[in-house]
A and B are shown apart, each in its own frame.
Chain A
Amino acid sequence: MRNRIFLLVLGISLPVSLVGVAGAGCGSVSIETNPDEVDGGGGDAKHDVHTSVTTGGPDGSGPEDALPDYVDPGCPDSGPPITQYMCDPFNQKNGDCMPGEGCFIFVQYPQEPCGQEIYGAGCAPVGPGGQGDPCMGFQDCGGGFVCVVSGSGNQCIQLCPLTGKDGCAPGLSCEPIDVEGFGGCL
Chain B
Amino acid sequence: MKAFCNGPARAALFSGVLGLTACGARTGLEAGPPLPPPPECVVDADCPTFGDLCNPVKCVPLPLDGDAGTSPKGGTCQDQPKIDCNDNDPCTTDTCAPDTGACSYQIATLDLDGDGYRGPIPGTIAGTPGSCGDDCDDSNAAAHPGGKEICDGVDNDCNGIIDDNATFVPVSGEVVVSSPGLQPASPGGLAWSGKVYASMYSGKSSGDRVFMSILNPGGDKVNPPGEAPFTFVNADSFAGPTVWVGDRFGVIWQDRRNNNNYQTFFSLLGEDGAKKLADTQLSFDEDNVVGAVNPAMAWNGTEFLVAWQLAPTGVYDLFATRVGVDGKSKTAPIALTASGDGLGNESPSLAAGKDGVGVTWFVGDALSKSISFQIFSTDLTTPVIPPILLTDGSTNSVYPTVVWNKDRYVVAWADWSAKPRAIYAMAIGPDGTILVPKIAITKPGPFHSRWPNLKPLGDRLLVLYSDDRDDQNAGYEIYSRMIDNQLLPIGSEQRITNAPGDSLHPIASFGPDGNIGVLFRDDRLGQQDVWFTRLACVAGGPPPP
Interface residues of A (CB under 8 A from B): 1-4, 6-10, 23, 29-36, 40-43, 45-47, 49, 54, 56-59, 62-63, 65-75, 77-81, 109-111, 113-117, 132-135, 149, 151-155, 162-164, 170-171, 173, 176, 178, 180, 183
Contact = CB atoms under 8 A, between A and B. Distances in A.
B271 A62 contact: yes
A33 B240 CA distance: 20
Given A49-B278, A134-B367, A153-B364, A2 B505 contact: yes
B258 A30 contact: no
B289 A10 contact: yes
Nearest to A78: B234
B295 interface: yes
A54 B274 contact: yes
Given A54-B272, A75-B233, A151-B362, 13 more contacts: A3-B347, A29-B233, A32-B263, A35-B331, A40-B331, A42-B330, A58-B272, A110-B235, A117-B234, A134-B367, A149-B289, A151-B293, A170-B468
Interface stretch (B74-82, B95-103, B321-329, B488-496): B321-329
Contacts of B252: 1
A59 B273 CA distance: 11
B234 A152 contact: no
Contacts, number: 247
B528 interface: yes
6 contacts: A10-B289, A70-B275, A75-B233, A109-B261, A151-B309, A163-B527
A34 B264 CA distance: 12
A171 B290 contact: no
B527 A10 contact: no
A75 B232 contact: yes
A66 B275 contact: no
Interface in B165-222: 183-184, 186-189, 195-196, 202, 204, 206-208, 214, 222
Interface in B31-85: none
B10 interface: no
B303 to A, nearest CB: 12
Contacts of B189: 1
A135 B344 CA distance: 13
Given A8-B290, A151-B309, A57 B206 contact: no
Interface string B266-291: 01101111111111110010001110
